[in-house]
């Protein structure tokens, strides 16, 4: 009985982790929709373009709005980009990088 409960628990965890995955593949990149940009909070902020999030139920990427962000000391934002693979196209999310790396 304990092995059965352990097996069911493990299967549930694997299903949960699989559902949380944000990588999916599409044949064509979706069109980017430009939204109105709110006013810049101060000159210390930079605009981060909206990213794409894969929706497993619909098998499409959904655009998220961009936002203003204040860079950390010695950090630069690297924009996200579309990657081509044999499975199709997938979105590589933008991220903050330390300068010089």
The confidence score (pLDDT) of residue 42 equals 95
Exposed e or buried b per residue across 78-87, where buried means at least 16 C-beta atoms within 10 angstroms of its C-beta: eebeeeeeee
22, 53 Cβ separation under 8 angstroms: yes
| Residues 18-66 pLDDT 10s | 444 457 999 988 988 888 899 999 999 999 999 999 998 999 999 999 9
The confidence score (pLDDT) of residue 11 equals 61
The pTM of the whole model exceeds 0.75: no
The confidence score (pLDDT) of residue 101 equals 60
Structural domains of the chain, count: 1
Identify the domain containing residue 71 by its residue range: 2-98
Q: What is the mean pLDDT of residues 67-79?
A: 92
45, 67 Cβ separation under 8 angstroms: no
Q: What is the mean pLDDT of residues 3-29?
A: 64
Task: For residue 19, give both structure tokens.
Answer: 């559902």
34-37-38 Cα angle (round to 5) = 160
The confidence score (pLDDT) of residue 90 equals 94
Helix-then-strand count for the chain, H and E: 1, 8
For the cut 50, the answer to whether the pLDDT of residue 17 exceeds it is: no
The confidence score (pLDDT) of residue 78 equals 94
Percent of the chain topping pLDDT 90: 56
Report the distance separating Cα 71 and Cα 48, nearest Å: 10
Report the distance separating Cα 76 and Cα 67, nearest Å: 15
């Amino acid at each position: 009985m304990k092995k059965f409960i352990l097996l069911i628990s493990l299967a549930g965890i694997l299903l949960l982790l699989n559902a949380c995955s944000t990588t999916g593949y599409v044949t064509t990149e979706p069109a980017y929709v430009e939204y109105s940009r709110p006013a810049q909070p101060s000159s210390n902020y930079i605009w981060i373009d909206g990213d794409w999030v894969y929706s497993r139920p619909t098998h499409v990427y959904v655009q998220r709005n961009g936002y203003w962000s204040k860079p950390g000391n010695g950090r630069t934002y690297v924009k996200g980009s579309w990657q081509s693979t044999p499975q199709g196209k997938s979105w590589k999310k933008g991220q903050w990088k330390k300068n010089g790396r």
